[in-house]
């Protein structure tokens, strides 16, 4: 019988309404698995955190990564499920995928409706995630997100709808698998780059900020981020990664001062491409900004933070396998 470890971190799947009528993560993992009926799977469960994912900091992400690594190191464990809020699931799942060096699957899931809602989706999502983590065919697929019958690779997947029951979407792609009743089906297997080391405590305080380009934007926010201690700033450019003259001038100065400047896009899908001059993306790259490909904006932020915290200077050659 396969054995799956369930690690709970909070989120809507563990939330109930309080006296003020708002939902707060308050239920422990034993409440989540008590009446689950996981079938022919032995389930172990423990709480790591009990927070809405909108409250998470880098330290919390590191603690989750360490907890998952500890479970994967146990020979008797065949897979791990992490219950997590959907708000920032894309960041935590991607961080864990970057450091995942085991064939055992790690599967994230959560809920869009609280645990005390009459139509809560948490139990069904958790049951499916456990089935995915226990499936031998899920081995070698890295870190996955299982939600509403669909299975996604962590890399490139983001929350694309605030309230829909199936809120996740993979940039320039779709689910790599699905649940067929109780059967786990995969249509493809992700190509995965070499695993990076687990985040150290330096990750906790590694600041990487995001600054968006928009009509009339100047470099004040980017400069303020560096003043506040940012080791890197990701510019969310318009279109294919365009900025303006003020951001280009700031980027050149920041790179000269040793700040990493990443170039992403505020567009949901598609890569950063140096098409345009006159303050566009080509000029930002000439100023020293590092293009971040088609990796979603907030996953790109996590990648830079992990590399910088590990003492590595992100450049095109280092980043290429992860983009």
Tens of pLDDT along 56-101?
999 999 999 999 999 999 999 999 999 999 999 999 999 999 999 9
Q: Which of 12, 83, 170, 265 is catalytic?
A: 12
Cβ atoms of 217 and 246 within 8 Å: the answer is yes
Helices 220-227 + 245-256 axis angle, to 10? 20
* R_g of the chain, CA atoms, integer Å: 20
Distances (CA, A) of 166 to 197, 266, 303: 32, 22, 26
For the question of residue 182 being annotated catalytic, the response is no
C-alpha span between 121 and 61 (Å, rounded): 24
CB 256: neighbour CB atoms within 10 A? 10
Taking the model in full, what pTM does it have? 0.96
Q: How far apart are the first and last CA of the chain?
A: 37
Domains of the chain (ranges; CATH) run 3-186 (3.40.50.1170), 206-322 (3.40.50.40)
| pLDDT band at residue 147 using 50, 70 and 90 as cut-offs | very high
Q: Which of 9, 83, 86, 120 is catalytic?
A: 86
pLDDT score recorded for residue 38: 59
CB 250: neighbour CB atoms within 10 A? 25
Q: Does the pLDDT of residue 322 top 70, yes or no?
A: yes
Cβ atoms of 96 and 68 within 8 Å: the answer is yes
pLDDT score recorded for residue 181: 81
For the question of residue 12 being annotated catalytic, the response is yes
SS3 for 1? coil
87 belongs to an annotated ligand binding site? yes
Helices 89-98 + 58-72 axis angle, to 10? 50
- Would you list the DSSP string of 159-174? E--SS-SS-EEETTS-
86 belongs to an annotated ligand binding site? yes
Query: Which residues sit opposite 247 in a β-bridge?
Result: none
Q: What is the mean pLDDT of the chain?
A: 96
C-alpha span between 320 and 323 (Å, rounded): 5
- Would you list the DSSP string of 44-72? EEEEEEEE-GGG--HHHHHHHHHHHHHHH
Tens of pLDDT along 224-277?
999 999 999 999 999 999 999 999 999 999 999 999 999 999 999 999 999 999
274 CA to centre of own chain: 26
Tens of pLDDT along 26-67?
999 999 998 787 578 999 999 999 999 999 999 999 999 999
């Amino acid at each position: 019988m396969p054995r799956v470890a369930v690690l709970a971190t909070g989120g809507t799947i563990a939330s109930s309404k309080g006296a003020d009528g708002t939902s707060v993560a308050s239920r422990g993992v034993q409440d989540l698995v008590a009446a689950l009926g996981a079938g022919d799977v032995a389930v172990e469960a423990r709480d790591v955190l009990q927070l809405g994912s909108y409250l998470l900091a880098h330290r919390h992400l590191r603690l989750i990564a360490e907890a998952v690594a500890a479970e994967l190191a146990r020979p008797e464990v065949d897979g791990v499920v992490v219950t997590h809020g959907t708000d920032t699931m894309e960041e935590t799942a991607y961080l864990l995928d970057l450091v995942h060096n085991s064939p055992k699957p790690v599967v994230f899931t959560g809920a869009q409706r609280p645990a005390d809602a009459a139509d809560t989706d948490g139990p069904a999502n958790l049951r499916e995630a456990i089935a995915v983590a226990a499936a031998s065919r899920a081995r070698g697929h890295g870190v996955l997100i299982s939600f509403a019958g669909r299975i996604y690779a962590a890399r490139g997947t983001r929350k694309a709808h605030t309230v829909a029951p199936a809120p996740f979407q993979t940039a320039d792609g779709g689910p790599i698998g699905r649940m067929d009743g109780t059967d786990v089906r995969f249509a493809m297997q992700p190509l995965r780059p070499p695993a990076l080391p687990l985040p150290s405590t330096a990750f906790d305080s590694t600041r990487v900020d995001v600054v968006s380009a928009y009509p009339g934007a100047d470099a004040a926010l980017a400069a303020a981020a560096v003043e506040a201690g940012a080791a890197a700033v990701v510019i969310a450019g318009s279109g294919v990664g365009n900025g303006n003259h003020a951001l280009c001038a700031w980027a050149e100065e920041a790179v000269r001062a040793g700040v990493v400047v990443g170039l992403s896009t505020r567009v949901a899908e598609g890569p950063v491409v140096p098409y345009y001059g006159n303050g566009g993306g080509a000029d930002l790259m000439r100023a020293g900004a590092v293009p971040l490909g088609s990796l979603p904006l907030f996953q790109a932020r996590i990648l830079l933070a992990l590399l910088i915290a590990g003492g590595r200077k992100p450049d095109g050659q280092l980043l290429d396998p992860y983009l």
